[in-house]
Amino acid sequence: MSPAGAAASAAQRGQAVIVDPAAVSSEAAPPQPVPAVAPGAPGWLGVALSAPPPDRPGVLISSVLRRSPAAAAGLEVGDVVIAIDDRRVNDPADLSRQVAALGAGRRASFMVQRAGADRLFGVELGENPGFEGQLRLGFVDAGAPEFQRVEVAQGALPPTLEGLRGRVVVLEFWATWCGACRALLPTLNEWHERFQSQGGLVVSVTTDPVNKAARDAAELGLAYPVLSDPDGSTATAYQAFALPTLFVIDRSGVVRDVSVGYDPQRIAELEATVARLLSET
pLDDT in tens, 215-241: 999 999 999 999 999 999 999 999 999
Q: What is the mean pLDDT of residues 250-273?
A: 97
- Give all domains of the chain, ordered by start, each with its CATH number: 3-124 (2.30.42.10), 140-279 (3.40.30.10)
Predicted structure pTM score: 0.80
What is the SS3 string spanning the chain? CCHHHHHHCCCCCCCCCCCCCCCCCCCCCCCCCCCCCCCCCCCECCEEEECCCCCCCCEEEEEECCCCHHHHHCCCCCCEEEEECCEECCCHHHHHHHHHHHCCCCEEEEEEEECCEEEEEEEECECCCHHHHHHHHHHCCCECCCCCCCEEEECCCCCCCHHHCCCEEEEEECCCCCHHHHHHHHHHHHHHHHHHHHCEEEEEEECCCHHHHHHHHHHHCCCCCEEECCCCHHHHHCCCCCCCEEEEECCCCEEEEEEECCCHHHHHHHHHHHHHHHHCC
pLDDT digits (tens, 9 = 90+) for 152-186: 999 999 999 999 999 999 999 999 999 999 999 99
